[in-house]
Amino acid sequence: MSELLSKAEELDAADPLAELRHRFVLDDTVYLDGNSLGALPAVVPDRIADVVRRQWGELRIRSWEESGWWTAPERIGDRIAPLVGAAPGRIVVGDSTSVNVFKALVAAVRMARARAAGGTARDEIVVDATTFPTDGYIARSAARMTGCTLRPVTPAEVPGALTDRTAVVLLNHVDYRTGRLHDLPGLTAAVHGAGAYAVWDLCHSAGALPVGLDEHGVDLAVGCTYKYLNGGPGSPAYLYVRQDLQPRFDSPLPGWNSHAEPFGMSPDYTPAAGAPRARVGTPDILSMLALEAALDVWDGVPVEAVRTKSLALTDFFLECVTAYVPDGRVESLTPAAHAERGSQVALRCTSADAGDVMRRLVASGVVGDFRRPDVLRFGFAPLYVGFGDTERAARVLAEVLVT
Ligand SMILES: *Cc1c(COP(=O)(O)O)cnc(C)c1O
């Protein structure tokens, strides 16, 4: 047996999270795409069957009250809260990440202007130039709608780009392509120093590492739930609003679900108190309750332990790739420093067509994904990926690259 194979066995045997894999529906495939679509938690199918057959089929309209449908966005927000370092009452679940980016950015510009009334114009939105495209598209539209200028800069350039005209800065906690972890505490403090608001996109960090939203004074944050939170395809996203900002949160999509008295059916709009004022319309209950069931896998799991395992997995993967893959075939885009690494490894494929390499990997039972033009992405979801999986992935990658 190779040295790395026995090392993988030792690491798996000592892994305090190893048992969590049984909470998921998995097979022999090495699934390293949980940063795109998390695996299915085993409790979800029966829970959804109950929601459909009993809650919908038998209780029908009564379920809005009796099955807790109406309050699901806040209730499930409170389940996500401990995973991102938020107290209860700060998060609502609903809509897509894209829609929540829109709500957060426009609300932040409005709040920045209300605060600056009479002072300098707050007419600039700063956005991470390397962002996942949807965030950039939405930021551009939000800028057009609010009469702001859009300023795309890299996260490292943000402190130097801030001025007294900056209204809001939209940043990614972890870069979706390279897996680079950005300095959320430091950048948030810099944004606040310029009198602006910070909106963080947590799509690639929540469920993989501690975020500390309350601790670091983050203003607004958004994230999806179908990656490391395993909510299922298209499961609803979430929006965090810092507690002291909630009374000033001025939503650009003030639907009836965000009204103080939604069933008052008043023609006049009065926003609800607290996080529910970030709601819009009727929640998508089936997806939402699948997510609620999926969050059971986190019961008793400390996020710090998840982070420790995540770093050990990505370290071990890089070690195996270095040992198995001939020099010059791939190059890691993921930072070596732990403080700058999320929970994925991105390898630039220098020697072959990366799309073809990934297709062959998938056919050989190792599922990662490909991002144009030449990046192989491997996501390590610490709740169900083990060290044996990690060694096998690197070994199969080497085989694919040399044949
Ligand atoms: C996955 C992801 C999204 C997805 O947005 P949707 O509206 O849910 O499709 C947005 N932003 C980032 C950074 C992502 O990684």
pLDDT digits (tens, 9 = 90+) for 206-246: 999 999 999 999 999 999 999 999 999 999 999 999 999 99
20 alpha carbon – ligand 1 mean position (Å): 26
Domain boundary among the residues 298, 325, 349 is at: 298
Same-domain check for residues 352 and 227: no
Same-domain check for residues 253 and 392: no
Closest CA to 104 of 125, 119, 118: 125
Count of C-beta atoms within a 10 Å radius of residue 314: 25
Burial (Cβ within 10 Å: 0-12, 13-18, ≥19) of residue 100: buried
Q: Using a 6 Å cutoff on CB, does residue 208 contact ligand 1? A: no
pLDDT category of residue 68 using cuts at 50, 70 and 90: very high
Domain boundary among the residues 298, 316, 345 is at: 298
Ligand 1 atom at minimum distance from 224 CA:
8
Same-domain check for residues 210 and 319: no
Percentage with pLDDT > 70 across the chain: 100
CA atoms within a 13 Å half-sphere pointing along the CA-CB vector of 252: 18
Same-domain check for residues 148 and 291: yes
d(CA 331, CA 13): 30
99 alpha carbon – ligand 1 mean position (Å): 10
Q: Do the domain assignments include residue 388?
A: yes
Q: Whose CA is nearest to atom 3 of ligand 1?
A: 97
Probe residue for ligand 1, chosen from 202, 203, 344 as the CB with the greatest number of ligand atoms within 8 Å: 203
135 alpha carbon – ligand 1 mean position (Å): 7
Q: Which residues have C-beta within 8 Å of that of residue 178, sequence separation ≥ 6?
A: 333, 334, 335, 346
Q: Using a 6 Å cutoff on CB, does residue 67 contact ligand 1? A: no
315 is in an annotated binding site: no
Q: Using a 6 Å cutoff on CB, does residue 237 contact ligand 1? A: yes
Pair 284, 236: CB distance under 8 Å: yes
Ligand 1 atom at minimum distance from 135 CA:
11
226 is in an annotated binding site: yes
Q: Do the domain assignments include residue 398?
A: yes
How confident is the model at residue 234, as a pLDDT? Answer: 97
As for how many domains the chain has, the answer is 2
Q: Whose CA is nearest to atom 8 of ligand 1?
A: 97
Probe residue for ligand 1, chosen from 33, 36, 98 as the CB with the greatest number of ligand atoms within 8 Å: 98
d(CA 170, CA 151): 10
Same-domain check for residues 255 and 288: yes
The torsion defined by the Cα of 133, 137, 225 and 281, in degrees rounded to 10, comes to -160
Q: Whose CA is nearest to atom 14 of ligand 1?
A: 203
Residue located via tokens 């610490």: 382
224 alpha carbon – ligand 1 mean position (Å): 6
Same-domain check for residues 66 and 175: yes
Same-domain check for residues 339 and 217: no
How confident is the model at residue 67, as a pLDDT? Answer: 98
pLDDT in tens, 110-156: 999 999 887 889 999 999 999 999 999 999 999 999 999 999 999 99
d(CA 7, CA 285): 45
Q: Using a 6 Å cutoff on CB, does residue 384 contact ligand 1? A: no
63 is in an annotated binding site: no
pLDDT for 341 beyond 90: yes
Q: Do the domain assignments include residue 37?
A: no
**Which residues are part of the catalytic machinery?**
132, 201, 226-227, 377
Run of H or E residues at 289: helix 285-294
d(CA 354, CA 325): 15
98 is in an annotated binding site: yes
379 alpha carbon – ligand 1 mean position (Å): 15
Q: Which residues have C-beta within 8 Å of that of residue 215, sequence separation ≥ 6?
A: 85
Domain boundary among the residues 277, 298, 319 is at: 298
pLDDT in tens, 280-331: 999 999 999 999 999 999 999 999 999 999 999 999 999 999 999 999 999 9
Q: Whose CA is nearest to atom 1 of ligand 1?
A: 203
Count of C-beta atoms within a 10 Å radius of residue 214: 16
pLDDT category of residue 104 using cuts at 50, 70 and 90: very high
Q: Do the domain assignments include residue 8?
A: yes
Q: Do the domain assignments include residue 36?
A: no
179 alpha carbon – ligand 1 mean position (Å): 14
CB-based burial, 266-300: b 16+ in 10 Å, e otherwise: eeeeebbebbbbbbbeebbbebbbbbbbbbebbee
Q: Using a 6 Å cutoff on CB, does residue 128 contact ligand 1? A: no
134 is in an annotated binding site: yes
Run of H or E residues at 383: none
176 alpha carbon – ligand 1 mean position (Å): 9
Same-domain check for residues 91 and 136: yes
Same-domain check for residues 264 and 133: yes
Q: Using a 6 Å cutoff on CB, does residue 36 contact ligand 1? A: no
d(CA 47, CA 69): 14
Question: What are the distances in angstroms from CA 331 to CA 57, 328, 399?
Answer: 54, 7, 16
How confident is the model at residue 119, as a pLDDT? Answer: 80
403 is in an annotated binding site: no
How confident is the model at residue 158, as a pLDDT? Answer: 98
133 is in an annotated binding site: yes
Q: Do the domain assignments include residue 23?
A: no
Pair 227, 35: CB distance under 8 Å: yes
Same-domain check for residues 224 and 110: yes
How confident is the model at residue 92, as a pLDDT? Answer: 98
Q: What is the pTM of this model?
A: 0.98
CATH classification at residue 136: 3.40.640.10
Same-domain check for residues 103 and 150: yes
CA atoms within a 13 Å half-sphere pointing along the CA-CB vector of 193: 11
Same-domain check for residues 312 and 328: yes
Q: Which residues have C-beta within 8 Å of that of residue 249, sequence separation ≥ 6?
A: 107, 111, 241, 271, 277, 278
Q: Do the domain assignments include residue 309?
A: yes
Q: Do the domain assignments include residue 249?
A: yes
pLDDT for 1 beyond 80: no
| 157: containing domain | 50-298
What is residue 151's three-state secondary structure? strand
> Quick one: tokens of 33?
């795409």
d(CA 65, CA 119): 47
Q: Using a 6 Å cutoff on CB, does residue 177 contact ligand 1? A: no
CATH classification at residue 345: 3.90.1150.10
